[in-house]
Amino acid sequence: MANDKKNTHFPMLDSNTSHLHPLKALTKRITEAYGPSGYEQTVRELIRAEIENYADEIRVDALGNLIARKKGTGATPRKKVMLAAHMDEIGVIVTHIDEKGFARFAPIGGVFPLTLFGQRCRFANGVIGVFGREVKNSSTSEVTLNKLFIDVGATSKDDAPIQVGDPAGFWRDFADLGKRIVAKAMDDRIGCVVLIEVMRELKKSPHDVYFVFTVQEEVGLRGATTSAYGVQPDLAIAVDVTGTGDTPEANPMAVQLGKGPAIKVKDAGMLAHPAVKNLLAETARAEKIPYQFEVLTGGTTDAMAMQTTREGVPAGCLSIPTRYIHTPSEMIDFDDLQNAIKLLVAVLNKPFKLD
Three-class SS state of 352: coil
Please give the distance of CA 328 from its chain centroid, rounded to a whole number. 13
User: 330, 247 in Cβ contact below 8 A?
Assistant: no
User: Strands, DSSP E only, in the chain?
Assistant: 57-60, 66-70, 80-86, 91-97, 103-108, 120-123, 128-133, 148-151, 167-170, 175-176, 180-183, 208-214, 235-242, 262-266, 292-295, 315-321, 330-333
CA distance 186 to 102: 29
- Best CA proximity match to 186, nearest among 332, 342, 337: 332
Phi, psi of 147 (to 5 degrees): -105, 5
**DSSP state at residue 271:** B
Which candidate in 217, 218, 294, 330 is catalytic?
Answer: 217
Q: Is residue 66 within 8 Å of 231, Cβ to Cβ?
A: no
The yes-or-no answer on residue 197 being catalytic is: no
Catalytic positions:
217
